[in-house]
Structure 1
């Protein structure tokens, strides 16, 4: 058993620098090994994650042992890297994309930001990470060895060990965009976060997933996790109310059969929806319909089992599981006794459950340039409207309200002509120059000339 690591805030600058240098050297060695010709490797498990004991309702999480080091499957793929004006030099390793989160009491989260960002930059790990007093949430991309080191570095803090992680497959197209080979994106080649080299965002926020209720504390109590293999039996039980806690635009392209859609535009609205729907049985004057995709309306009285003292058994799900932890904690605080949520979310279910046995209908929206994924986490068919960032289908693109890079049927009526013309201008810039803002990337040419003049005047003195 390794001794617990000291808090990140207590690391000296010298120790932190030494850690980063060692991590960088190891990652560089791994990258060199990946670039060398290799023999066909033996089969490797698809995903490795850190096991976490299941938590029972209303129980405080028990103290967990140190999580074992993360180990991602190493891969090797011949891939040319572009340098300069269309030149090609060398090869790059296959990539690993991992989404992760962990709720924890982290009042000193701001101290974690700089060392984590510097490590990601030195290891060339890209993506986005959120730090908040309630924990960490992120999605990162890079060479497998480098991603491993970042995840293990995070878990050196005892409060963050046991990250919940999902590894997604990376297609050759994803790798091309990540390495700056493609100009298929309206935001420019290689600029599709989280698949962009040397671009990591580590943000400080109040919550790792915005809920708006500070009294909801998943570190204190959450519902019971249900593994994907047990999920079908739970949601097929007629006494179980299945609730999709995602937003409308996500549910529109895919959901579990028979799930209730709360019709929320943001996760913040979920609390109001619960209060409205599950308390209506207390008032004879209030009646409302809750739509499900089986073509029938489930009344609020049915949702509440016609008895305000006997709240129903609830099974919830979301993309990766993080929103369900907060939602389940909220329901428990409201008096629900049986609250379950899908462990690993939709992504884990689509990864593990064969399509022939699946109760999932449609595709799953993801918050990166893939837009949507299907069973086996294969690339989906949906595209993204860059006017409103909502998923659109091939059928949506046949609408007269669809204009590439400007609008779609879901945002056309909400945008003014000024906004649409501004979007058209951005699209023309990209089509002409390959980047938004033209060759100056939106910066004032006069300012660039002035800066150049200043640099020219100062250069003799600096030499």
Structure 2
């Protein structure tokens, strides 16, 4: 019998020994691939195994892309065809499990002047598919932001492919482990049955999405450009001294569903539901006006009449802080600092006894939250609102698996709840949404007649 894990059940963290990986710092992406929330804010789905190896060349490749296509051409790369068994829970691993390479999860971002970003989409998607790398990537005129998964070699080749364009060289990254259980589920997929492991796979090797956006992280102010200026980076080892200073205002630039499960001691929580609300919060909190903004931009070297404080900001992986720090500088703030590598890098490098972090850190993947050492945390995910829920939340009468939790029950209409219940019944019956024929062509009457 195949192992079925409902979407609201968290894998045990007892044996979540870290596997040597590379994870890039995009924990703040905006994608949610299938069920996967990536570090860009919230991104969306994408799947389909593809073998478009002959279409890598773009009609108008961006600078450096043509050379990269020649250097990294996947035409000679053979795709693994290992068979898998699924007769029991222990058969989640492939028959040749000892030779299966460990997974590498990489989240990354880079702000850059990238006006021809559209030309990069298809070559990048094709290359990811050829490398058997999965996940999601956003590209925009202001750069790139993504999170991918695959073998160490394949992920490194994709990173090299991206950085072969000089404008995208120097991606910002942070490491994060994947548990053996998640690896086993990931390897439950086969080329013959890409849905074999259901929606609990942390990443699907046939599932890569490259999306075109106006911004790599949604802020809503086109005049804010981290390419031109950002605040001062502070390493995790320097962070404690900065935020312990009583003259420093520490600001969490994440959203409320993230801050309620953990934050730095004494940090200000703007209580925003989306990053786009941050500029208004700053204006209101510090009583800034348009005249302050205009004066700061026209006279960047002059002192502002308002006595603005020293500010230290942080987010999950660093990308939101780059925009937030650029925005504060445009408003006339002089001392603007942000945590390099974000919370994830801090939790990786700083031991718990020395830490100023309280609680757990929400992450945009199936781990839901992590603790010190980037060990998977205790929170699960409500698939009704995509927000973290605790064990206590799951005891509430307002919690209904796959439908609602105490945080979203009141905001959901009965029609929305009924649709979610129907979706949950499909998942409970088949392990995937849509039933066992999901992704397959339904047989026509002529096909049925031929079988008779």
TM-score between both structures, scaled by the size of structure 1: 0.74
Partner deviation per Cα, 1:253-290 (whole Å, 9 max, x = no partner):
000000000010000000000011101799xxxxxxxx
1:358 to 1:15, Cα distance in 2 relative to 1, 3 A: closer
Partner deviation per Cα, 1:399-434 (whole Å, 9 max, x = no partner):
110011110000000111121121111111111122
Query: Could you tell me whether the CA contact under 8 Å between 2:138 and 2:212 is conserved in 1?
Result: yes
Q: 1:439 aligns with which of 436, 440, 443?
A: 436
1:281 to 1:361, Cα distance in 2 relative to 1, 3 A: farther
Matches within 5 A, 1:387-426: 387-426=384-423
Q: What CA RMSD, in Å, does the superposition of the two structures yield over aligned residues? A: 3.0
1:449 aligns with 2:439: no
Q: Tell me the equivalent position of 1:206.
A: 214
Q: 1:82 aligns with which of 81, 84, 100?
A: 84
Q: Unpaired segments of 5 or more residues in structure 2?
A: 1-59, 291-303
Q: Distance in 2 between matches of 1:424 and 1:150?
A: 39
1:193 to 1:133, Cα distance in 2 relative to 1, 3 A: farther
Higher relative contact order (CA closer than 8 Å, sequence separation 6+): 2
Q: Distance in 2 between matches of 1:227 and 1:14?
A: 35
Q: 1:235 aligns with which of 243, 247, 251?
A: 243
1:103 aligns with 2:135: no
Q: Distance in 2 between matches of 1:12 and 1:233?
A: 43
Range 194-203 or range 239-248, more displaced: 194-203
Please identify the structure whose Cα radius of gyration is greater: 1
Q: Tell me the equivalent position of 2:74.
A: 21
Partner deviation per Cα, 1:166-186 (whole Å, 9 max, x = no partner):
12111111112222379xxxx
1:345 to 1:23, Cα distance in 2 relative to 1, 3 A: farther
Q: Tell me the equivalent position of 1:368.
A: 365
Report how far residue 372 of structure 1 moved: 0.3
Q: Distance in 1 between matches of 2:76 and 2:85?
A: 25
Q: Distance in 1 between matches of 2:63 and 2:112?
A: 18
Q: Tell me the equivalent position of 1:130.
A: 138
**Secondary structure class of the residue paired with 2:337:** strand
Query: Could you tell me whether the CA contact under 8 Å between 1:180 and 1:196 is conserved in 2?
Result: no
Q: Distance in 1 between matches of 2:118 and 2:124?
A: 10
Aligned positions, number: 369
**Secondary structure class of the residue paired with 1:437:** coil
Report how far residue 18 of structure 1 moved: 7.0
Query: Could you tell me whether the CA contact under 8 Å between 1:250 and 1:364 is conserved in 2?
Result: yes
Q: Distance in 2 between matches of 1:259 and 1:418?
A: 39
Q: Tell me the equivalent position of 2:165.
A: 157
Q: Distance in 2 between matches of 1:442 and 1:146?
A: 26
Range 339-348 or range 108-117, more displaced: 108-117
